[in-house]
Each structure stands twice: as C-alpha cells, then as structure tokens.
Amino acid sequence: MMFSLSGILCLALHLLPEVKSSMVKLHDNGYEGIVIAINPSVTEDEKLIQNIQKMVTEASTYLFHATKQRVYFRKVSILIPMTWKSKSEYLLPKQESYEQADVIVADPYLKYEDEPYTLQYGQCGEKGQYIHFTPNFLLTDNLAAYGPRGRVFLREWAHLRWGVFNEYNVNRPFYISRRNTIEATRCSTAITGRNVVFNDCQGGSCVTRPCRRDLQTGLYEAKCTFIPDKSQTTKDSIMFMQNLDSVTEFCTKKTHNTEAPNLHNKMCNHRSIWDVVQESEDFQNASPITAMKMPPHPAFSLLKSKQRVVCLVLDKSGSMRAEDRLIRLNQAAELYLIQVIERGSLVGMVVFDSIAKTKNNLTRIGDGNAYQNITGNLPQNASGGTSICSGLKEGFQVITSSNQTTSGSEIILLTDGEDKNISQCFEEVKQSGAIIHTIALGPKAAKELETLSNITGGLRFYANKDINGLIDAFSRISSRSGNISEQAIQLESKILNVKGKTWANGTVSVDSTIGRDTFFVVTWTIQKPQIILQDPKGKQYNTPEFKEHKLNIRSSRFHIPGIAETGTWTYSLLNKQAQPQLLSVTMTTRARNPSVLPIIAVAHMSRNTAQYPSPIIVYARVSQGFMPVLGVNVTATIETEDGYQITLELWDNGAGADTIKNDGIYSRYFMEYNGDGRYSLKVHVQARNHTARRSLRRQNKSLYIPGYVVNGEIVLNPPRPEVKEDLAEAQLEDFSRLTSGGSFTVSGAPPAGNNAPLFPPSKITDLEAEVQGDHVHLSWTAPGSTLDKGKAANYIIRISKCFQDLQHDFDNAAVVNTSGLTPKEAGSKETFVFNPELFKVENDTNFYIAIQANNEANLTSEVSNIPPAIRFFVPQDSSIPALGISAISLAIWGLVMILSAALPAAAAVSGVKTRSPPPPRLSLRPLRGNNSCGGGAGAASRRLPPPTAPRAPRPGSVAAPPPPR
C-alpha cells in the first residue's frame, strides 16, 4: 500500500523539546526570562545598554500588535561582561550566561558584517539558537536600510522563538509566476516597487536602467534589483521587509505567496508565517488581550558576570572500584584541572559516598601550586553508599564559605551510583542559582541525574568503560562567558587497543589559529608505553619528557613549550607488555592569540530525550568566530550504554536533516536505536587537502534595502560596505577538532537487530528543473530508504501546468516514466532527462514538476519542492523596462529605454536620488500558451492509470492522465 508517515514524523519532531537551554517562559501573555548578553570583547559603552532597552521596548509594542494582541515582552535581563566596570545597579546572575543567552551582542569576525541575523538550523516550527546583533548596528543609525531596531528585533524573535524563515531570497530574487509574470520573491505580492540595474556608481551617484530578460532563464538579468516603493498600503509581511512603514503584520493564509521560491516556503511546506506561529506552544494558551491597547514597558535587570567558580563533586562510593572507574575519574579530573579550566578560575572539590567531605576550599587556578594542591586530594579509595544530595549540599558550602555566592557558580557532579533520594534536593538546587553539569559514569547512575542539569541549565554527559568518554566530558565543560580565546580546544581523543610488543601511530593537525598552552596526554591500563612525539619540523619529544602524577593514576603528559608548531604532529606508542592493553591519546590547546579567533566545533542532538520510534537529528556547527566553515569532514560517534557504537557522516548539503546547504551546520538523522538508556555523542571534525574555507553566506540575516522609490524617483540608502572576496571566502589550512555533544536518553526502543524500516525516505528539497531544447533536465540530492540513510527503491515524478495540482493533488497529476531511473545512495547527486510529450514545449511554456521517493516497505516521502520548468526565447534586440511589480509582463518586445544619469551625490543618511525618464506608453499582451489553472477541482477529478497499464510511455516521457469522468 502507498503510505506516508511524514505527518507523524513532523509531529514527533515538533512536540519534543529542543536541546538548547533557554530561560524564556510565557506567563500571562508576557515573555519572561529573556537574556541579552554582551560579549567580553565589546568596548564598554553605556549607550549600548540604553539602545538595547529602547530596542526591546519598541519591539514589545510591535510584537503585541503583530500577534493580534496576544504576547509582549515583560522581563528582560541584560548580562554585562566581567570586563566592564562594576556599578551599584548591577546584580549577580543566576543561571544566566553568555553561552545560553537568547540574544548576543558581539563584534563580527569581519568588521563589515553588521547585518542582524538568527542562528537557526532546525526544522519548521523549531526554535533557533540565538539572535546576533553587532555593537555597530545597535549604536549606529540604520533606520533607512533596516527600519527601526524594534522592528528588526521582532523579525529576529520570530525566527528564534517560532521557527519561521525568510520570505525573500537573495539567490533567487525573481521568479515566474503561474500567471506568467516576473515577480519579485516576496510576501505579500501586494508590495509594489521597481526593478532596475544600477550602472556607473561613483561616490554617492548612480545611473539606473531597466532590467533586461536573460535569454536562458526568462528571468531578469543577475544584476537586477527590486526597489520597493516607500509608500505602501499593505500590512504584510514582517518576514520580507519589516522596514516599510505600512508593514506591521505577518502574512496570513489569505495573503501568503505560496509560489515565492524562499526558504520559508521550502521549510514550512508553503504554509503562511501566521499559520506556523499560531501552532507554536506559545499560542496554545495565549488568547488575545482585548482590553489592552498597548502593552506595559518591559522590566529590565542588569546583571554583571563574575569570575568563574567551579566545585567538583565526585563520587567515591564502593561501586567506583569496578572497571577502574576511580582511576579514570582521577585521570579525567586531573586533565580538567591542568588543561581545561581557565586561568584565574576559583575551584574547589568535594567527595562523597554515604556522606560528603570537603577536600579543597576554593583555590585560584594559576596561583603557585594550585594544581598540585587539588589533584593531590583526588580520591584514592572507594567505599560506602551513594548520597548525591549530600555531595551537592557540601559543594554549596564550599562556595559560600569562601565568600562566594552559589548564584552563577558551577558544580560538576560525577557519579556512577543509584540514589532513590536524589529528588529531595531538587528544590534546594533550583533555589541556589547554581549551574549543575552532570556526568553519569556507567549504566547504573541515578536515572534522575539529568534532571539536575535540566532545571539549572547545565550540561549532561554519559561515559561508559573507556577513559575517553570521561575526558571528552570534562573537556567540554568550558567557561560560559563567551571568551573563546581562553577556552580549551580538544584536537584529539582516541582509544587504541594495542597488541603486545606493537607500535601504534597517529597524527594530529595543529593550525595557525591555535597552539598556546598545548598538552599531549597518554593514559594506559597496565604499563606506561614508550612514547615518541614529533613536531612538523621533525623535532622529537620522548618518554622521559612526559610527566606522571605522583598518585600513579596511569597518566603521563607533555606540555609543549611556547606555541606549538603549525602543521602535522605525529606520535608513536609502543606497548612494551606481552599482552594487549588500552592506550588513550588526548591533545588539547588554546587560541594562539586573542586577536585571531580559533576554529571551533560545537555538537548536540536536536533533543535531550527520544521516544522510539521518533528519529532525532545530530548537529555539528563548525565556525571561526561567527563565520561558517565549509568543506570539512564531520563524523559523529554515538555510543549506547552497552558500548555499541554507531558512526554517522554528517552533511552540509541542504538535504534530508540539513536545512541549508553550505552554512557550516552539518546534520544527519539518527534512528539506529539499540535499546533504552543513555546515549553519548562525540563529533570529530577534520579538514583535509586544503578543502576547508570560511564563508559569509547566511540565509537568515535581515535584508539590506539599497533604496526606495519616492515620488517616482529612486532614493538610495548609504551603500553597504562590501567585503573582499578573499576575506569572505578565505581558504583554510588543514585542521582537526573533537568535541563532546553530551548525552541523550532513549525510551521505548527494542533491542538491537529488531529495528524494521519505520520511516519513508526524506523529502527532496532541492529539485531543480531546466528546459533544454525539447527535454527537461532534472537534478536533486538522493534521499535514503529510511530518511537520509540507504537507497530509495524508486522515484515518482509528476508534471502539471498547475502548481496547486502538484501541491495538493500530487497523485492525480501526469506521471513521468522513470523505469530507467535507479536511485543512488543517499546524499548522491541525481540527474534525469525526459521529454514532456504531453505538453508541447513551445516558447514561453510554463509547467511544474515534483517528485516523491518510495522505499522497499512502500513508504513514500513527502512531495518535493515544486520548481517551474520554462522554455523561453526572446529576440536579441528586445528588452523589458522597469515597471510596477504588479504590472510586469513577459511579452513586451522591441522596447528600448534610454536613461540619463547626471545625479547629485547624496548626504550620508538621506541617500541619493536617481532619475530616469518616464517610460513610454506600453501595450501589454499575454504570453503565448495557456498556463491558466482551474484550481484543484478539475485536477481532483482526474485518475491516473497504474504505471503497468498498456501503452505505457517510454522511459523519460510523460503519460497523460485519463479524461475526466
């Protein structure tokens, strides 16, 4: 049977919470807990705080009216960096941190990149990660180009909170509509304007001319720009141009432009912005406030970050004797104290079994022998029961006894034991304001452990039998202040099962953004191996230069002097024992200098919990500053409680689980469940053969408006600074990064081997169609048999002159014979050529194509995106003038426009006026061919014969549906 589970899949993805920890709550129609954090590198400026407050206050009013009097901003916290001077009005934060902020204020990596944007890579309706404003945007008058800052904030809030997308497309600014008119990609189509090409721009003066048709595509030439009229009457849409005075609403089902080739239509299946917003959890219990005409002003709290305070709370109960857990705890904790924790941090330590005991009060890391004083007190004997609450309370005592507050302090809690009484201290933990990171060691750690992380905004990890799981967890717990240059970066973490009397070899890349404070660490299970470490210039470091801890915790480290050499480091380890043993290799470093931001990798799952059979998504973000890094190999390793490992190659191809191609977000569906319990995630990033590059491409940034049409003349805004191509698309050297993505919990899953295909192939979202001669050339990325894994069984391609037929009645559209088309492996590039005999491919013929994929279980994917296929020919002497957007026709022949240019330079903010003579009177006529659609009624009455019916079309041709009954 033909059966699609896409609706169930979408529901499952939508209902479960995202992994990003946000403190925002909607209470009585007002948003509370919003955190706006300023990066420590931003220069202190009181005006910055004032402008943030003004922006949010303006946005609250816009938000209230745009949501039809449903929601507004009530309570907002502004997190001041520790680098700014203290003031009496600044309060201490609790769980608020830069790392978990909803809005961040930070300088861009390149000084020209000031457009506001939201980091958003989830599916339709899923929350984004954060909004990014630059100080320059907040301190400079950008009114002409972006509109009031309050409107910009509202637009970005819609991205962040409700998971909607842009209604413009800088890569496809125009499209040919079903009425055979060229339209600007926008919503709604009621927004009017002119289409021009800017020529000969010198200083503040430009000459414009009308846009010409491209002879290949039928669209306007590449340099054509849509300039909106300054005066509009339409109220929508905020997600297209929030800067127009009349625009105060989102597109609704009535006004939505389903044809526009924008990201919102692609991601949200052509639904309107307002339809998606109304489905969010915020609007389920938020009725309009009819009695309130204007919302109250938001209340602001100014919070100032403090120095980092961390207390280790470590389990030493009797179960820690098993599987060398106590040894592994010591190895990982020592690495954290020496290599990971930032200099100047205050660190204390508590150990617990049935009772808790303070081993170290808060000690400043970097002062004298602080490392030795703490590591010397790591627990050496395991005995007793497990009382997690006792450990936490003792940790709070360590913090407060050193004249520090638990608010904003961090506790790293590691335990392997069960504790039925852990819930008794949940409320005390919540009231403390502390952030609790939890590490579950082994499968029997208390099942409620992760609740402590969830209620405090902390990280959560699971480590199994080898040392690397613990090392990876500790390495990920870095400062939450936003000071990336001081954070430890993990380059390697590998476990090696080395046979007796055998060498094991490996390499690690050190790039030019890192190399300060670099450590190479080796651990073993039986006896210390012989170690050889060689830098890129051939200098060797040998076993005697590696230091061991006096407590004999089977770990040896070498601190590379100065700045580590850039290039490939090689290592060789000789297991001197006759029997095999496990050896581990870890390499950590920091940014080379504060002025050059390092390349980093951040990984996480789309949710912290998974209910079988719902799939979840693995995400890895690779970036330098705020710039995406492309062209790297990203591999995720997911490990279950019993040690079973699943390896996934993550893709940035814009297909399957990946939202946008080439945005530095590498993604993949995960559905290979192996029973219930905790699963851990680790991601390895490698750039090889000089294929990596950084990019300025960002789909969700606010649209820069070059100017407006005012009283028939184009008034230009100040030009946007252009970034040199070599800076924007710079090639990067080879590098490697490794990071933990924390843990997630699975329930309801069968044991390994009992997983049947439960999902259809993933939706094809990048189908492209091009007419060449009498044939249509299609290309797309292959989905899998199950979502984005494996190989589909077959494809179903259909064609229609009506967009709506394919969107709403796909099964009854004309079918293309694909018997000669064999699906490739997921992620591969597919191509197919066919002759649409049903439709005579004449000049100006416009029709639409869509595709579905089937798997062996006869499960069918959602209908793909629906691109038009157009054959177009224009005589070489023809051109099309700039017209009001609603009056553009594709059948204007032989018109020549003559432009004049003597234009005065404009002032900085008021812009430049460009003049062109009024267009001559035009006689418009429709295109040849009839592309009118009669809606869904006629299409619904058609019935398609089965593909095996007699007189089937040839492969690559189109079968006509039977006549109506």
Q: Are 752 and 616 in contact (CB under 8 A)?
A: no
Chain centroid, CA 59 distance in Å: 24
Helix (H, G, I), strand (E, B) or coil at 472: helix
Rg for the chain, CA atoms, rounded: 30
Which are the contacts of 692, defined by CB distance < 8 A and separation ≥ 6?
Answer: 629, 630, 631, 632, 731, 732, 733, 734, 735
d(CA 193, CA 228): 4
What are 852's two structure tokens? 């579905």
Q: Is 202 helix (H, G, I), strand (E, B) or coil?
A: strand
Amino acid identity for residue 71 in this structure: V
Q: Is the CB of residue 587 less than 8 Å from the CB of residue 568?
A: no
Residue given tokens 């294929």 in the structure block: 691
User: 556 preceded by cis ω (within 30°)?
Assistant: no
Write the Ramachandran bin of 934: left for phi over 0, alpha for psi from -120 to 50, otherwise beta.
Answer: alpha
CA separation for the pair 115, 110 (Å, rounded): 12
Report whether 698 contacts 630 (CB < 8 A): no
Q: Which residue has the tokens 């001669």?
A: 773
DSSP secondary structure, 610-638, as one string? EETT--EEEEEEEEETTEEEES-EEEEEE
In angstroms, the Cα distances linking 371 to 62, 349, 375, 585 are 53, 12, 6, 21
CA–CA dist 914, 923 (Å, integer): 26
Catalytic residue among 156, 167, 259, 450: 156
Question: Kindly report the CA angle at 348 between 346 and 351, in degrees rounded to 5?
Answer: 165
Distance CA 357, CA 311 (A): 12
What count of other Cβ atoms lies within 10 Å of the Cβ of residue 518?
24
What helix, strand, coil percent values describe the chain, rounded to 5?
Answer: 15, 35, 50
Backbone angles phi and psi of 702, in degrees to 5: -65, 145
Phi first, then psi, for residue 37 (nearest 5°) are -115, 135
Active site residue 156: yes
Using CA atoms, how far apart are residues 920 and 917, in angstroms rounded to an integer? 9
CA separation (Å) from 145 to 133, 415, 704, 898?
15, 54, 6, 29
Using CA atoms, how far apart are residues 308 and 301, in angstroms rounded to an integer? 21
Q: Do 665 and 628 meet the contact criterion of CB atoms below 8 Å apart? A: yes
Q: Tell me the C-alpha distance between 620 and 630, whole Å.
A: 12
Amino acid type, 127: K
Taking residue 957's Cβ as centre, other Cβ atoms within 10 Å add up to: 14
- 929: Cα separation from own chain's centroid: 44
Measured torsion, CA atoms of residues 892, 897, 903, 905, in degrees rounded to the nearest 10: 40
3-state SS assignment for residue 376: coil
- DSSP, res 668: E
Helix (H) and strand (E) counts in the chain:
16, 50
Residues whose CB falls within 8 Å of the CB of residue 733, separated by 6 or more in sequence, listed in order: 511, 512, 566, 687, 690, 692
Closest to 98 (Cα-Cα) out of 121, 125, 79, 120: 79
Instruction: Give the catalytic positions in this structure.
Output: 156
